[in-house]
Structure 1
């Protein structure tokens, strides 16, 4: 194998490092696929808001839904189609995402007005079924989902799975790569003492440590670009709030076990 001259080796190493660094930053920070991620996030926002609308609409019309009048229940179905159409038009406006970002007081969480209970008579069985439905799909399902995002598998490197799995894998790879860089730097220094700074061993140690440093940058860019840590913290807070809401709902249910009478 013919030896590579020092200037050529230097420029080859520099070019490879630059290419890998740029690729890591482009992929990690979402420059190449940022638009697709933005579209996905917008669709996710719309889907979540429609889910909010669904449960809020049930709450706003709970007396008619649990009532004894078939005509009133049919009217609720007709009203829902019209209300959903209005909500979707609102969600698809270009400025809606920014409106949600600026909504520090959570004014946008209500998709429609929820009136006070009028005191009309409702069917006890329907009312009990509605409470079971609400607890299972509005509280328990959301709590289980957010808790699942925090659950970690026993595997040391779960590449897929929950947010906790992904964040743990990236953080572990960062630690291992950084540790390897330290070892290679020590070996490079020892190689310079024993041989010389231009020896093949020294150059190999320096090259590998440079590539690993670029890998660390790429891992950090990926973790920041996809928001792994932020999503993990958000789901942890969401799981806590969901559990509290479930407890509050259960306590209120125990205090008022019977449906209101007319």
Structure 2
């Protein structure tokens, strides 16, 4: 029986609303009037075809992409998002000269936080939970692509932020490891507000409280599907499989 790796979030559950989002590339509108609400303390999953703008939306919320007026990104408590979010990109972005452990502790290192035994112990426990026990002293070059992605997941979880943005966090994993880490993420991110981009309908329906299809040119976000029961849901749950058909229909449209 594992003890919780992450402490309770120091912030109250955080809601985020993106309203009237507009962004153009080369004179072609990517969004014109896109709206998405992230409910506090829930996992929102976003699916859509490649190039529709899912990653750009994550980057916009993270402050890494600059939208055009009249875009508004607001939090439920009115405070800025700076310092309150963790972002896991599609690429693992591990620093090759650091060990696995130091990559997991990278945020603390950059903030010049004292690397206490407790902090290092929590990082090692996260590595254990993602299946990398005994690899803390390795360099990223010694790891497979799936193992590197697991280090990036541990680093994201280590940040302990009330808002977590994740861009295809399990895409490089084999099927069984993917299922296991979906369950781990659902456990460790409980109570946090999460926006997770994925191309896998079953993944979204297993761990999301609200699942949206993002489609069209310019892109819009469709009405949410709400899978029954708490995540993580069994992959063979008949209700989940039925909703998978509906989600695929929305994506085809």
TM-score of the two chains, using structure 2 as the length reference: 0.22
Structure having the higher helix fraction is 1
TM-score of the two chains, using structure 1 as the length reference: 0.21
